[in-house]
Amino acid sequence: MLKDDWFTVRQIDENTYAISELGHWEKVHSFLLLGETKAALIDTGLGIDCMKRITDQLTALPIDVITTHVHSDHIGSHGEYTRIFVHKDEESWLVNGIVGLSLEQIRANTVRDITIPIPKTFNPDTYKPYTGKPTGLLKDGDVVDLGNRKLIIYHTPGHSPGHICIYDELKSYLFTGDLLYDETPIYAFYPTTNPVDLVNSLEKITTIPNVNMIYGSHNTLGIKPDILEEVKKAVIYLRENDLLKFGTGIHPFKGFSVQF
């Protein structure tokens, strides 16, 4: 498998790769999905190093970047690609900048707790999250066709207004972005988040049929779909106990936790 000083590349199957930044505290994963006519890159990481250097080694297909949401750790290498897609509710964030976090906060989050050498090409003092006009806008129910491989878009707001999950019909993978992952809390505690929407979105993904594996954007690579049964229980618990509001804290469940 491809070796790199910054990125860890792991092959999920013959046409699917995880491109991870495991030396950073956020342990961010981006995903490259190859089809017959084009490829999809789900997010582009932190922007500390050049992701196109990696994708160029993995495929010669044209690449559509599908943005799960416009936070700085998911759009870092967007500027290296020509075709970028985002949910319509976050078009303005991509064009004008991320709402709710100062550049100083973003820079501090980007450079803290890094356990491997930072590329010499990266300057934390001048780092700015990508801004630019997307190629196209996504909405709930859209299908991205890679030729022999169709990706279904689910609008799943809460962590951010235009957050999406992507279901790969061919492989039955569900890419959940920052809606569902393990180890560290899923969060909706910033003013730009919405606890009610987040729980509604968690409930929504439990209704997607035939999920074989879940790939969140942080921490463990690949979570078994049994976790969706725990998500169903969590949704009921959070609603019944009137916890869907800012300031109620961290709520642990089997396999994941949520913070409001």
pLDDT of residue 100: 85
Cβ atoms of 236 and 242 closer than 8 Å: no
- The runs of H, that is alpha helices, within 82-219 are 91-96, 103-111, 195-205
pLDDT of residue 20: 98
Q: What is the pTM of this model?
A: 0.96
pLDDT of residue 190: 87
pLDDT of residue 1: 75
Ramachandran angles phi, psi of 237, nearest 5°:
-60, -45
* Highest CATH level, class, for 8-183+208-225: alpha beta
For residue 145, the one-letter residue type is D
pLDDT of residue 214: 98
Write out residues in the chain with pLDDT < 50, as ranges.
Answer: none
pLDDT of residue 259: 97
The structure tokens listed for 81 are 């690609």
